Amino acid sequence: MSTHTPAMNKVQIVVAYTDMTGLKNTGRMIQKDLNWFSEFVAVEAPKAAMWLRCGTQDDVSEAEAHMAREHSDTRWAVYTFEKGHRDPLGEAKARIMHAAKGEAV
């Protein structure tokens, strides 16, 4: 599930995955005891972490092996960005959510 974009000499490596920790308000109110509370449902939330700021192809393979081992039950991806990219974590989160929705990036 890797996406290699720039030349693989020295790049930033970002790992991203989704899990069900997000909450979305349904707009309904539920009563518990004598109080009314908003109802929430669990939704997919993106997570991203910088694996290495200056990595090679071997480091990408290592990141992929780690994600396959640790996040086998979730949607995950390993992305590479050029060294000067302004927001690699935000970009990785956006890409993984587009993949979760089945949209092309």
Neighbours of 13 (CB within 10 A): 25
For residue 79, which amino acid is it? Y
pLDDT by residue (tens digit) across 46-97? 999 999 888 888 999 999 999 999 988 889 999 999 988 999 999 999 999 9
pLDDT in tens, 14-41: 999 999 999 999 999 998 888 899 999 9
Pairing of strands 2-3, 76-81: parallel
pTM of the complete model: 0.76
Residue 64: its pLDDT value, please? 94
Give the angle subtended at the CA of 5 by the CAs of 19 and 98, to the nearest 5°.
Answer: 35
Going from the C-alpha of 101 to that of each of 44, 52, 74, the distances in angstroms are: 10, 27, 14
Whole-number pLDDT of residue 101? 80
User: What are the residue boundaries of the structural domains of the chain, listed by start?
Assistant: 2-101
- State the pLDDT at residue 48: 95
